[in-house]
Structure 1
Amino acid sequence: MPSSTQRLPLQTGRATLSDVAREADVSLATVDRVLNKRTGVHARSIAQVQQAVERLNYRPDPAAARLARPHPHRVSFLLPSGNNTFIEMLREQITGSSGWMEDHRVSAQTHQVDVFEPQRLARRILALRGQCDTAVVMALDHPLVQAAIDKLVAQGIAVITLVSDVPKSQRQHFVGIDNVAAGRTAGTLVGRFSGNAKGEVGVIVGSLSLRDHAERSLGFSQVMAAEYPGLRVLPPIEGKDDPKLARQLSARLLAAHPKLVGLYSVGAGNPGISATLKASGRAGKIVFVGHELTPAARADLLDGTMAAVINQDAGHEIRSALRLAISRLTREPVHADQERIRIDIYLKDNLP
């Protein structure tokens, strides 16, 4: 017979919380407190539980965790208002995930706000208190917004940033592409499609206060300056992701810069830019690269108005945000490769 201090390894099946408690020689309540990182547990007990978890190779049972929850996990998505086709694609993916959410005991609500107004956005973030367990926010990188996110987290609400990050906040995760790399990719595309042409390149952003737009602009400028010195990048113009405003701004840009050879649309508003290029007779003559494979962008690729589109998968982003939202409850490990959002490049020749 083994001595009272010896522990036999689990022979078959998946280790349970009871197995961990028995192995660590502590109560089930203590195991729960340690695994959920709650205070009030003696350091010796914490070490015993951690060692037992390692010896038994304990992994939480997600199904059991879901069944143990008395209420569905509430997720609030806070997305930009306005006529942004990519945001509409995100909303459609949230609706399309209803079956998965039902299976995983998750409920979701979608809210809209003008993300270009930091005061309004911060107030809307704070208004989510008491409405959700996890907030998924497409946010402006601004001190007021950071403070609002930190207040939510301090009150026990997890925050996941989507598409555009607020990295200095206490948010749990960021779901989106590497935006500096996306901007560098755009620079390479504009430079190579321009061939040996010399001239000016315009940049239209939604707002440089959006971190994804600022990072894309940075990456773009880095490549253009280092690898295409014959192409001069003009100062970015802010179009607030509004197609009508983007049309006006791009028309002024073309009129003021007759030597324009390239145009990089960092955010939304591509339909307005496309309309300007077609009306001016310069569609297909100016190398136009933008983001997100919307129906309008697909049409622009096919008729030659756009040279290339850099895309992020809206469905992957929503599914990833939902998985991350419940991971802290089920204590399932987060697999970085599964949650990494790829940068896709589409030409007219490889449209899905």
Structure 2
Amino acid sequence: MTESATQPMVRATLEDVARAAGVSLATVDRVVNRREGVRAKTVARVEAAVAKLGYRADVAAARLARGQSFRFAFVLPTGSNSFMTNLSEQVQRTAGWLAGQRGFIDIRHVDVFDPEVLAGALEDLSPVYQGVAVVALDHPKVRDAIDGLTARGVVVVTLVSDAPSSRRLHYVGIDNPAAGRTAATLMGRFLAARDGKVAVIAGSLSLRDHSERQFGFHQILSSEYPNLATLPVIEGRDDSERTRELTTALLKRHADLRGIYCCGAGNRGIAEALEASGRARDVVWITHELTQHTRRFLVRGTLDAIINQDPGHEARSAARVLLAHCMEEPISPDQERIRIDIFLRDNLP
């Protein structure tokens, strides 16, 4: 290993650029900040030094010097949904990084299944916030509340679940119809040529992510796997006890139930019902989100596959998008694209 490879990388300063270009610090400052009054030949020398040294402005330090900071609200669901708990934890971790950028996060937990409650929470947000990230319900009252924030100059990012006809700036989440289609393809292949019924359990079809997933699921299952008939969607409101009761009823009512696709949460209830029925190894079960509970169900064979989205990536992406908008900086679409992961028992991280 060479000596240079063992040395820590030192960030170039304006003083370094000034020495390399043979000009004053004031001249470098004028060139870097695109102010007039510097000869073209001097500008070229400074820009060459900037390129050679790899100088980058310390944006956080500049904001600190100007006393500038931003505050964002993350509006997340109440309840015991394990994925949303993970998302909340990741937002808290992201808050530590964002504080170094002079950005600050407050988390608000509300019932996102109730449009009046969610809309009211958005409408009542303090004017101290420059940006909001919200797990959205696609409902007229919620869309109106988002539009109201935007009209006040507050940038809104939808997180995990979208409200696409609102005036939100950006959606941070997976392609949910594609996720549903992926689940259907897995279900069809796992069941091969077996005939029978498949149940779909959502949290609420008012949540855009749940409705889009079940749409994609039906799209593929009905067109490519005619041996499998999908039952009407039932809604468990992401509540484990309610979902357990619904799953128990399904298993009793349909002796030919071959598969269960859960496009929301409530997975502990599904696992309890399947294991209590003695049919856990006979019914193919596919769900969303890798959590401590779904991991356990997958390892012991009750669950067959998990369609996952990374809550850490989503939390960081939402924060980056909000900060970039406030700083009038572009975002990188590739960096902010949330990918769909598929986990089986054999490739668990």
Shared fold (TM-score greater than 0.5)?
A: yes
Secondary structure of 2:34's counterpart equals helix
Alpha-carbon distance in structure 2 between the residues aligned to 1:189 and 1:116: 29
Aligned to 1:205: 202
Residue deviations 1:72-128, cap 9 Å, x none? Answer: 311111011111111110111122223312211111111111111111110011111
Aligned to 1:66: 63
Structure 1 gap segments, 5+ residues each = 1-11, 24-58
Once the two structures are superposed, the pairs formed by residues 193-342 of structure 1 within 5 Å of their partners are 193-342=190-339
TM-score by length of 2: 0.84
Q: Do the aligned partners of 1:62 and 1:332 also contact (CA within 8 Å) in 2?
A: no
Tell me the amino acid that sits aligned with residue 317 of structure 1: E
Q: Does residue 161 in structure 1 map to residue 158 in structure 2?
A: yes
Structure 2 gap segments, 5+ residues each = 1-27, 39-55
Structure 1 residues 150 and 91: alpha-carbon distance in aligned structure 2, compared to 1, 3 A threshold: same
Aligned to 1:77: 74
Alpha-carbon distance in structure 1 between the residues aligned to 2:68 and 2:106: 15
Once the two structures are superposed, the pairs formed by residues 120-135 of structure 1 within 5 Å of their partners are 120-135=117-132
Structure 1 residues 305 and 270: alpha-carbon distance in aligned structure 2, compared to 1, 3 A threshold: same
Secondary structure of 2:199's counterpart equals strand
Alpha-carbon distance in structure 2 between the residues aligned to 1:71 and 1:243: 45
Measured after TM superposition, the shift of residue 131 of structure 1 is: 3.8
Secondary structure of 1:159's counterpart equals strand
Tell me the amino acid that sits aligned with residue 84 of structure 1: N
Residue deviations 1:198-237, cap 9 Å, x none? Answer: 1000000011110000100000000001110000011100
Q: Do the aligned partners of 2:60 and 2:102 also contact (CA within 8 Å) in 1?
A: no
Aligned to 1:113: 110
Structure 1 residues 318 and 22: alpha-carbon distance in aligned structure 2, compared to 1, 3 A threshold: farther
Alpha-carbon distance in structure 2 between the residues aligned to 1:68 and 1:263: 57
Aligned to 2:34: 18
Measured after TM superposition, the shift of residue 330 of structure 1 is: 2.1
RMSD after superposition: 2.0
Residue deviations 1:153-209, cap 9 Å, x none? Answer: 111111000000001111111100000000000000111111111100000001111
Secondary structure of 1:164's counterpart equals coil
Tell me the amino acid that sits aligned with residue 169 of structure 2: Q
Secondary structure of 1:97's counterpart equals helix
Tell me the amino acid that sits aligned with residue 204 of structure 2: S
Structure 1 residues 176 and 333: alpha-carbon distance in aligned structure 2, compared to 1, 3 A threshold: same
Structure 1 residues 281 and 69: alpha-carbon distance in aligned structure 2, compared to 1, 3 A threshold: farther
Moved more, 105-114 or 123-132: 123-132
Aligned to 1:136: 133
Q: Do the aligned partners of 2:197 and 2:259 also contact (CA within 8 Å) in 1?
A: yes
Aligned to 2:341: 344
Q: Do the aligned partners of 2:130 and 2:326 also contact (CA within 8 Å) in 1?
A: no
Measured after TM superposition, the shift of residue 13 of structure 1 is: 9.6
Measured after TM superposition, the shift of residue 69 of structure 1 is: 5.2
Secondary structure of 2:205's counterpart equals coil
Tell me the amino acid that sits aligned with residue 308 of structure 1: A
Alpha-carbon distance in structure 2 between the residues aligned to 1:283 and 1:244: 18
Residue deviations 1:40-97, cap 9 Å, x none? Answer: xxxxxxxxxxxxxxxxxxx997446633653431111101111111111011112222
**Identity of aligned pairs, percent?**
51
Alpha-carbon distance in structure 2 between the residues aligned to 1:145 and 1:13: 46
Secondary structure of 2:282's counterpart equals coil
Measured after TM superposition, the shift of residue 284 of structure 1 is: 1.8
Of residues 178, 182, 187 in structure 2, which corresponds to 1:185? 182
Alpha-carbon distance in structure 1 between the residues aligned to 2:114 and 2:332: 34
Structure 1 residues 18 and 220: alpha-carbon distance in aligned structure 2, compared to 1, 3 A threshold: same
Alpha-carbon distance in structure 2 between the residues aligned to 1:144 and 1:63: 37
Tell me the amino acid that sits aligned with residue 300 of structure 2: D
Alpha-carbon distance in structure 1 between the residues aligned to 2:270 and 2:69: 44
Structure 1 residues 103 and 284: alpha-carbon distance in aligned structure 2, compared to 1, 3 A threshold: same
Of residues 146, 150, 154 in structure 1, which corresponds to 2:147? 150
Moved more, 83-92 or 97-106: 97-106
Measured after TM superposition, the shift of residue 132 of structure 1 is: 1.3
Structure 1 residues 65 and 193: alpha-carbon distance in aligned structure 2, compared to 1, 3 A threshold: farther
